[in-house]
Every structure is written in structure tokens, then in C-alpha cells.
Amino acid sequence: MVIPPAYVGPGAGFAFLGSFLALIVSILGGLLTALLWPLRALRNALKRPRGAVKKLIFLGFDGLDPGVAERMMAEGKLPNFERLRKMGGYSRLRTTFPALSPVAWSTFATGVNPGRHNIFDFLNRDLRTYLPELSSAKVTKTSVEMRRKSETFWKILGRHGISSTILRVPITFPPEEFNGRLLSAMCTPDLRGTQGTHSKFMQAEGLLEGPPGESLPFRSHSGVLEIQDQRISWRQGEYTPWIQLKFRSARGIVRFLPMADGSLYATPVQIDPESPALPISHPRYYAMYLAKLLGTFSTLGMAEDTHALNEGAIDQAAFLRQAADIQKEREAMYFSALDRLRHGVLACVFDTTDRVQHMCFGQTDVIERLYQDMDGIVARTLEAVDKDTAIYVLSDHGFCGFRRGVNLNTWLEREGYLALSGESGDYFAGVDWSRTKAYTFGLGGLYLNLKGREAQGIVDPADAAKLRTELCARLSGFKDGADTAINDVWQSRNLYKGPYLEAAPDLIVGYAEGYRTSWAAAVGRVSADVFEENTKPWCGDHCVDPRLVPGVLFSNRPITATDPGIEDMAPTALKLFGVAPPSWMEGAPLD
């Protein structure tokens, strides 16, 4: 199946670690940790500075929109958000340029702009081949590399004896070592090495693909699914439980959904948390601990299968059931950690809000139920908040509708900035780089084909500033008939500062409400028209002018800042525990 261009680049190599060895090492690590716990607890207590709080909770709801939240609070539909606002404060939260989850949550974690943490989009481009690659992590047959730079606030706190539990905060794969526990989130791959590739079978038997070159036969009949000596009962329209599978090189998990037309949908085959083929938690045994304590759970970074709904493999009802099941898994992890929080940080991000709004943004009943579910999570959290606890409920960005797609590659080709030597295809197939000055892919950026940077660059660096200025002027205020499709285009060097500026897109495009980069442009294709109707179920988005989609910020402490930004969260966490934010952090503590 084609993988969703909004979030996924080409499938990477996948480094499978020996599952048995990993299990033994993790068990020994767990035993050693348990034996050393009293000494570590004493050491941490002696190292801790005196702060304003003993406990800090960051409760993240990816994509929670201030416009929706404010309306529902005014209508009395979110009593616990309103209660938290009255306890302390509420503000809209300035997001990043662009307003994308990997960019914004990386800024949340580090307190710096993208020029310092090196995450500018979901995708980067390989400067040698022009092919897209995942921006946050690189997985090969021999290594797993985190590409986010700078240092997280939880690692800094750990050096001062303050432990953190970090659950599903985006861009934490692979996990880093620090004083605490972490479960990875966005960009954790499936067993195929992609960001989520589902299967759809039109017959009652077939081969379920796992790691590259490996598959398992299955057969479904008379309400029973048979796979690898397992017999799982099923009912039409209901997901099976997670099924654990043993491939030659790794263990995985999958759920099946028998459809009314006799077809069978299978979720992406994911890393088994009880025997991870890749590091998905810190310590390594933490994922196993959670699975044993709470049951098997989805490990995929983009767990809710938006692509399956977008391509018609499942319907909206099946998608919403899947999203609700995943949310319950996350709630179990979060509240278990909350029950055990005695000192330090608990940060957890629920991404159901983002995924459901992407697919159901215009459906008021669905969205209001979603927000009320989040209000319930806030209610349960407030039961654990005392005078020594600070809580911040936040989102990384808001949302708006997505009606029309814009293919800037098509516009660039028509205006002579991009040239074709043949039929255009995905990932710049057919582009003549010897005659191309600019190109776009991904969700927020436009690039110059710069000599000395791109392998086949033709734009002289001496002419780059003029070309950037020219494209900004021509595309800012860009019209689709009488409607504005692009509000502004910014030069990244005017937005960012830091050692990774050269890795940024040359220009950041701020689409108007209702517009976004087209599906074809996101994968580097030139289509017939610059503008096209968005006919996919994916009807909501935030890849627009960031000024249109701020996040939210609620707290039990007063919020006195006049323009709080997501970069302020990291230094706030440090200051609350009596740790001075390092000079390189750009955010400012909120108290």
C-alpha cells in the first residue's frame, strides 16, 4: 500500500536487534535497577536543588484548537478545562514556524528554535539524490540515529537528581539515556521499516508481511482466524485483540478487522513491546514493564491509521474505534504513571486529538465528543494535583479546514523555476535538475537548487538572496481566483538562528485557512493544475500560516506572559525545580 505522504518518506532500512539477547539484557537491567534503587533514590535526593514544586505534569493534547476549546468552555461543555483556567490561567500558545508536530514538540522539549534542534518538517531531502528521508531518525541495518539536536529539559533535570517519566512525546525515537523513563512516540517505525503500512486482503487467506523479505500465512473462516498456530475468534466489524507474532528476525503485533464485504484489514505490523526489535523505551525494559503491567499496546509512532481511512481500506467508524482503543492504551499508561508520581516530571502527549481532527474536522458531534473525552482526562488528573504540583495542559498547534491543495511545483514549472525532462512522478521523477532553480516537497518548505549544496545545484550562492526575495514577493498573497491561498512566505534565515540553519528549507510557506500543500506536491510531483479540490477524508490540517493555528495553554498557576510560546515550556520546567535554564535556551520561564 502507498504510505501517507503527509507524514512518511520512503521506507528506511530496519535494524533488528537479537530479540532473545535483548530480552536477557533487559531482564538483567531491570534486576540491577531494582537492586540499586535505594542508592539512586538517596543520590537523587542529595543532588536535588530546592524548587517551587515537587511534581510537574505536562499533559499534552496534540492539535487541541483554542477556537473550539474556547467556544465549548463558553457553552459549559468543558467544565474541567474551565476549572483549571480558574485555578490558574489560560492563554493561547504561540507555535513554531511551520506549525508541525515534530517541529513544535522538539521546541517544547529543548526550548530552542528549529535552527538549534534541527527539525524543520516531517521530511528532509537527501542532498545527493533529492529523495525525501525522515527528518527525526535514521534507521539502518546496523544503527539507529536520533537526528533531533540540542538537549531536552528532562535530561538536564536528570543531572540534578530530578527524575522524569516521558510518555509518547513526539520525536523521542530512538530514546535517549537520562535519569528517568521514556516511551517513544512519533516516527517509531513498523516492522517493515515504514511509518505505518497496513494490509487489506480481499480473500480469506493470504500472507501477512513483516520485516523485509518475511511473511506469515493466515487463514480466516467460520469466525476464526488462524495464524502461526494461534486460533483467534472474530466478529464482523470488530477488531481482534493484539496478536503476537514471531518472524525469523523479530517479534511483532497486529490486529485484524473482518469487514462486511468479506475483506480483511490488518493494522501495520508493529514492534512487540514485550520483545522490542528496536529500542523504543528507556530503560529498554520499560516497554516490557508497561506491556506486562497493562497489556500489549500499539508502538507505532503514527498509530491511528489515517492512511487506511484516506485510501478507503476502512471506514470512519472503524477508524474512530481504532483511535478510541489506542487512546485507552495511552490513558492506562498515563494514569498508572500519575499514581506513582512522588517527585519529578510526568509528561504525556495524547495524539488522538490530532488524528481525529485530521479526518473529521468539520463534524461537530465527533469533535465535541473528542474534546469532552480530553476534559475527562483533565478531571482525573486534577484529582492528583496538590499544592506541591504544577500542571500545564497544552497543545502544540490548533486546527483549521483543508479544502484546496496547492502544488507549488506546478507553479514553479509554469514560471520557469523548475524544468521537466519527462513525465513527472513521485520523489521528483522527471525533473531536469540542470534547469531547475527551486522545488518543494514535504508540508511547509520551498528549497533552492543551490550550487555547492544540492548535488546538481545550479543557483549560484551569490544569486540566492535575490531569488529568495523574488519568490517571497511573488508567492506572498498568492491568489486562487478571488481567494487568498498563501498569506505570506518567509525566508528561513529571518525566522531561525543556530548551527543547523543550512539544513532548513530556504522558504517557509504560510498557507491561508482552507489551503495546504497538495498531496502531489508533498511527494515532489508536478501535477496538471496548481490548485485542486481536496477530496480525501483528510479534511482538517494545521500546515498553514502558524499565526492561524496557535495551541492552548492551561495551568493551575497564573499565566502572566502576554505572548507565551511553546519554547517557554522547557525553561519553565527547569525553573520550577530550582534549576537555572542554560544560556542557549531561547524560551523564558513563565513564572
What does each C-alpha distance from 44 to 24, 157, 160, 310, 439 come to in angstroms?
Answer: 28, 11, 7, 48, 51
In whole angstroms, how large is the CA radius of gyration of the chain? 24
Q: Is the same domain home to 429 and 539?
A: yes
Q: Is the same domain home to 388 and 408?
A: no
How far the first Cα of the chain sits from its last, in Å, is 49
- For residue 144, is it within any domain? no
Q: Is the same domain home to 168 and 309?
A: yes
- 377: domain CATH number is 3.40.720.10
Mean pLDDT of 162-172: 98
Question: What is residue 25's predicted lDDT score, i.e. its pLDDT?
Answer: 54
Residue 327 DSSP label = H
Number of domains in the chain: 3
- For residue 582, is it within any domain? no
CA separation for the pair 300, 185 (Å, rounded): 7
CA separation for the pair 184, 196 (Å, rounded): 15
Contact between residue 188 and residue 280 where contact means Cβ atoms under 8 Å apart: yes
Question: What is residue 21's predicted lDDT score, i.e. its pLDDT?
Answer: 53
Contact between residue 392 and residue 93 where contact means Cβ atoms under 8 Å apart: no
CA separation for the pair 300, 187 (Å, rounded): 8
Listed residue (11, 15, 16) closest to 133, CA to CA: 11
550 φ/ψ sector (left φ>0, alpha ψ -120 to 50, else beta):
beta
CA separation for the pair 253, 240 (Å, rounded): 11
Structure-model confidence comparison of residues 304 and 12, the more confident one:
304
- For residue 217, is it within any domain? yes
Q: Is the same domain home to 55 and 183?
A: yes
For Cα atoms 559, 497, 548, give the angle at the middle one, nearest 5 degrees. Answer: 50
Q: Dump pLDDT digits (tens) for 219-231.
A: 998 899 999 999 9
How much of the chain, in percent, has pLDDT values that exceed 90?
89
Mean pLDDT of 192-206: 94
Residue 523 DSSP label = T
Q: Where are the alpha helices (DSSP H) in 263-363?
A: 285-294, 306-310, 316-340, 352-360
- For residue 166, is it within any domain? yes
**Mean pLDDT, the chain, as a whole number?**
93
Task: Identify the domain boundary among 232, 262, 293.
Answer: 293
Contact between residue 424 and residue 430 where contact means Cβ atoms under 8 Å apart: yes
What are the φ and ψ backbone dihedral angles of 577, each rounded to 5 degrees? -100, 15
Among positive and negative, which fits the CA dihedral 247, 252, 258, 264? negative
What range does the domain containing 3 cover?
1-47+195-293
pLDDT tier at 7, thresholds 50, 70, 90: very low
pLDDT value at 139 more than 90: no
CA separation for the pair 351, 427 (Å, rounded): 28
Question: What is residue 335's predicted lDDT score, i.e. its pLDDT?
Answer: 98
pLDDT tier at 24, thresholds 50, 70, 90: low
- For residue 437, is it within any domain? yes
CA separation for the pair 384, 125 (Å, rounded): 45
- For residue 353, is it within any domain? yes
Task: Identify the domain boundary among 293, 318, 349.
Answer: 293
Q: Is the same domain home to 262 and 249?
A: yes
Mean pLDDT of 261-269: 96
Q: Is the same domain home to 406 and 395?
A: no
Cα 407 to its chain centre, rounded Å, is 24
pLDDT value at 107 more than 90: yes
Q: Which amino acid is at 4?
A: P
CA separation for the pair 558, 575 (Å, rounded): 15
Q: Is the same domain home to 289 and 338?
A: no
Question: What is residue 591's predicted lDDT score, i.e. its pLDDT?
Answer: 78
Q: Dump pLDDT digits (tens) for 535-581.
A: 999 999 999 999 999 999 999 999 999 999 999 999 999 999 999 99
Q: Is the same domain home to 260 and 331?
A: no
Beta bridge partners of 60: 349, 394
Structure-model confidence comparison of residues 366 and 15, the more confident one:
366
Q: Where are the alpha helices (DSSP H) in 383-528?
A: 408-414, 461-475, 492-495, 519-522
Q: Which range among 24-38, 95-109, 330-344 shows the weakest confidence by mean pLDDT?
A: 24-38
